Homo-oligomer: A and B are copies of this chain.
Amino acid sequence: MASGLNTSVPTRISGGKNTTAEKLLVAASELMIERASIEVSLSDIAQKSGVNAALVKYHFGNKDGLLLALLARDAATEMSQLEYLINQPISPTAKLKLHIGGIIRAYHQFPYMNRLIHYLLHESSTEAADEVSKFFVAPLLEFQRRLLAEGIKAGEFRKVDPVMFYTSLVGACDHLFFGRHAMSRATGVGPVTDEVCRQYIKHMEALICGGMLSEKKAANGE
């Protein structure tokens, strides 16, 4: 992961060894979770971390540099887990279920992750956008492509287009965190607790694997 960031993130932070840089990332992450928004200023981050504002510029160049480093930090763990998962000696269906749980837990742990991805892809520099595609979207899509192929070959999955699959799975997982406020206003639905997360993982596993027709209907091929 670290070497993939060399072009736009200063190498002095890419290894995650610099304590000041790490402090700034922790502060940025905490502020985004507190505010449920990625709209945090460099001076807010400096203040919360107790680090001199000038050092933010020194370590990350600008705000986009910091956001990119934050996403890279959070994504690195997730991506290495995908590589681990694909090589496990378990069935493709079991891998798929673990993958669904992994995505939802990652969003729960880093609820700002998807906003950050979209901000960096759409509203920041081209270099930042290319980095995000390279270290986040492409590996996730590639993992799902391999998993789908494996499952189809094993006779467990029907043929599914990987890009459409990616869109529906990532979209559905993301929306638990993005769309929840809208529903809570409309219907008194509460916040996303650990328990809600667990329930949603079960819901998504069942939906993605078996859909929502009753067993009798499904067996009739409807």
Contact = CB atoms under 8 A, between A and B. Distances in A.
Contact of A203 (B141, B164, B200, B203): B164
A113 B98 CA distance: 33
A72 to B, nearest CB: 15
Contacts of A37: 122
A15 B115 CA distance: 36
Contacts of A185: 121, 129-130, 133, 137
Residue of A37, A93, A129, A168 with highest tally of chain B CB at under 10 A:
A168
Contacts of A133: 182, 185-186
Interface stretch (A24-32, A55-63, A82-90, A208-216): A208-216
A152 B104 CA distance: 27
Contacts of A179: 118, 167, 170-171, 174
A157 B213 contact: yes
Size bin of chain A's contact surface: 35 or more
Given A182-B117, A212-B157, A189 B217 contact: no
30 contacts: A36-B122, A121-B185, A133-B185, A137-B183, A138-B187, A141-B186, A151-B212, A156-B214, A157-B212, A158-B213, A158-B215, A160-B212, A161-B203, A163-B183, A164-B203, A165-B207, A167-B200, A168-B204, A171-B172, A171-B173, A172-B172, A174-B179, A175-B175, A207-B208, A209-B212, A209-B213, A210-B211, A210-B213, A210-B218, A219-B219
Interface of A: 36-37, 93, 117-118, 121-122, 129-130, 132-134, 137-138, 141, 151, 155-158, 160-161, 163-176, 178-183, 185-187, 189, 199-200, 203-204, 206-219, 221-222
A211 B214 contact: no
Contacts of A167: 172, 175-176, 179-180, 183, 200
At the interface, is chain A mostly helix, strand, loop or mixed?
helix
Nearest to A134: B186
